[in-house]
């Protein structure tokens, strides 16, 4: 029953959202077409359901050669590879909205673990890699909300970006996504959608730890970056 309700919510919500957002997409498309490299959409290989690759849709926000420049697949605060229009789209998360197309195609859900590039998927601990995509990846999810400002974390960590991501971010993000799989429900999904919108307007809010009191607690190395850091289950 839950699986049917989840898919129905995906189809209805994605369809309505695309119709409502279409007029707002037009100026974005024009701005992208006539700035930077003129790219509008960016289709990128990501790891998806049952660890199978698929193409994710996003508005183009970075230079085309970005994966081969600087920190590669990882983006930091004030990253020079991000275009001027792309910077705004990334801050507001508008760049992720074309993934509603992926939802309609059926290779993503509204809520689920974020689909990673293969290079970032490979740094998850083994037990996470085995299970994280037993469900469809999502446009948003528990990891997306708590790591909303991941770029800032990596920029201010004091460690090399790739090392900090592999040692601290990926393991905790993986545990959060496994928590979601163990607590999936229609209520959980609706709350995560609400919290996704909430943190756009209140980015310093730790409300998610009050709504879900049994979340795994952040490790010490991440606590200074995460609102509500003293909450969660040890």
pLDDT along the chain (234 residues), means of 10: 89 95 92 84 94 94 69 65 83 89 96 94 95 96 90 81 89 96 94 93 90 92 79 48
- For 201-211, give one letter per residue: b (16+ CB within 10 A) or e: eeeeebbbbee
Could you tell me which of 109, 148, 116 has the C-alpha nearest to residue 132? Answer: 116
Give residue 69's pLDDT: 63
- Residue 228, in any domain of the structure: no
Give 61-107 as a 3 state SS string.
Answer: CECCCHHHCCCCCCCCCCCCCECHHHHHHHHHCHHHCCHHHHHHHCC
Question: How far is 207 from 157, CA to CA, in rounded Å?
Answer: 24
According to the model, what pLDDT value does residue 234 have?
A: 46
Find the largest Cα–Cα distance for the chain. 50
Is residue 230 domain-resident? no
Sign of CA dihedral 182, 227, 140, 68: negative
Other residues' Cβ atoms within 10 Å of the Cβ of residue 38: 9
For 141, residues 6+ apart whose C-beta sits below 8 A from its C-beta are 111, 112, 113, 114, 177, 180, 192
Residue 66 forms part of a structural domain: yes
Q: What angle do CA 230, 76, 54 make, to 5 degrees?
A: 95
Question: Cβ atoms within 10 A of the Cβ of 200, count?
Answer: 12
pTM listed for this prediction: 0.86
Give the residue numbers spanning the domain of 74.
2-223
Q: Would 85 be classed as within a structural domain? A: yes
For the chain, the domain total comes to: 1
The answer to whether residues 50 and 34 touch, using CB atoms and an 8 Å cutoff, is: no
Q: Which of 104, 123, 9, 102 is nearest to 53 (CA)?
A: 102
Beta-carbon-side half-sphere exposure of residue 212 (alpha carbons within 13 Å):
22
pLDDT at 67: 67
Q: What is the pLDDT of residue 129?
A: 96
Domain assignment of residue 233, yes or no: no
Q: Is residue 232 part of a domain?
A: no
Q: Is 97 a domain residue? A: yes
In a domain, 234, yes or no: no
For position 232, what pLDDT does the model report? Answer: 47
């Amino acid at each position: 029953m839950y699986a049917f309700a989840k898919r129905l919510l995906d189809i209805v919500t994605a369809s309505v959202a695309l119709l409502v957002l279409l007029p707002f997409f037009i100026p974005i498309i024009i701005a992208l077409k006539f700035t930077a490299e003129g790219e509008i959409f960016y289709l990128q290989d990501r790891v998806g359901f049952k660890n199978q690759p698929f193409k994710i849709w996003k508005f183009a926000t970075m230079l085309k050669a970005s994966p081969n420049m600087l920190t590669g697949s990882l983006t930091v605060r004030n990253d020079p590879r991000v275009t001027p229009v792309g910077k705004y789209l990334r801050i507001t998360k508008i760049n992720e909205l074309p993934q509603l197309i992926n939802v309609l195609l059926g290779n993503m859900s509204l809520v689920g673990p974020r689909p990673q590039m293969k290079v970032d998927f490979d740094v998850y601990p083994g037990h996470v890699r085995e299970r994280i995509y037993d469900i469809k990846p999502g446009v948003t999810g528990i990891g997306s909300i708590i790591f909303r400002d991941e770029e800032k974390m990596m920029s201010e960590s004091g460690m090399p970006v790739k090392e900090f991501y592999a040692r601290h971010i990926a393991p905790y993000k993986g545990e959060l996504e496994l928590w979601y799989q163990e607590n999936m429900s229609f209520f959980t999904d609706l709350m995560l959608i609400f919290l996704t919108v909430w943190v756009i307007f209140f980015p310093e809010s730790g409300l998610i730890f009050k709504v879900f009191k049994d979340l795994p607690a952040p490790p010490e190395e991440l606590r200074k970056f995460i609102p509500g850091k003293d909450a969660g289950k040890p």
